[in-house]
Homo-oligomer: A and B are copies of this chain.
């Protein structure tokens, strides 16, 4: 493994370039008044179903849109488009995360001023997306009750680089024997004070709090002064 230092250096340059693009994106998002939320999680934690419902609900009073990253297929874009919100698929090939340049390219034809919320669904992966800033205002990490309570301890970086934890599929908590207290304690160990929301896309439980949370975060960002 003698070539490791070289790959680290190359990686550092790529990440630096990504940060520059992300910073430019963040400025564009702020000046257009669009609030940007990215979603990260393991495959199968319910990102797409959750996002479809979120888009459908938000569309009643706001103008949401979504970008969705995947290695292959545009299945998720097709599912999200059922919400009637504008949706674009980013196909990453063998790459296990989205990069700021991909987001920039996917947005090329959109007028950001016509949007209130932009959601970016990352590739399902609890490792790779951690170090890639996409210019988002809020990074949400999803943890489904079916995955086990130990995930925050096993994938600390993705929890550390996220702003909120969203516990999903709460309707399955009993069937899976989910230990809620253990999960909360593990999140607290990895990132003390981290905010946790709990939802079930199937029953709708928790979506009211999620919507209030989003609205409040958007307002707070629009207010000048320290967060």
A residues neighboring B (CB under 8 Å) = 1, 3-4, 6-7, 10-11, 13-14, 17, 42-45, 70-73, 75-76, 94, 96, 99, 101, 123-128, 130, 144, 146-148, 150-151, 153-157, 169, 172, 175-176
**One of B1, B70, B125, B144 near A17 (C-beta < 8 A):** B1
Cross-chain contact B169 with A146 (CB below 8 angstroms): yes
From B75, B126, B128, A154 is in contact (CB under 8 Å) with B75
Distance A99 CA – B72 CA, assembled complex (angstroms) = 25
CB distance from A77 to the nearest CB of B (A): 12
- A101→B151 contact, CB < 8 A: no
Q: Which residue of B lies closest to A177 (CB)?
A: B202
**Distance of A195 Cα from B176 Cα, bound (Å):** 27
Instruction: Give the distance to chain B from A182, nearest Cβ to Cβ, in Å.
Output: 12
With beta carbons under 8 angstroms apart, the residue of B70, B130, B147 that contacts A43 is: B147
Closest Cβ neighbor of A153 among chain B residues: B73
Q: Are A153 and B96 in contact (CB under 8 A)?
A: no
Contact among B6, B123, B146 for A172, CB-based, below 8 A: B146
A94-B44 in contact (CB<8A): no
A99: which B residues are within 8 A, CB to CB? 1
Q: Are B71 and A156 in contact (CB under 8 A)?
A: yes
- Chain B residues with Cβ under 8 A from A101's Cβ? 1
Contact B155 A43 (CB under 8 A): yes
Q: Which residues of B contact A157 (CB under 8 A)?
A: 71, 94
Complex CA–CA separation, A13 to B4 (angstroms): 11
Q: Hey, which chain B residues are within 8 Å of A13, CB to CB?
A: 3
Given contacts A3-B13, A44-B147, contact A70 B176 (CB under 8 A): no
Cβ distance A80 to chain B, nearest Cβ, rounded Å: 13
Residues on B with beta carbons closer than 8 Å to the beta carbon of A42:
42-44, 124
| Chain B residues, Cβ within 8 Å of A70 | 154
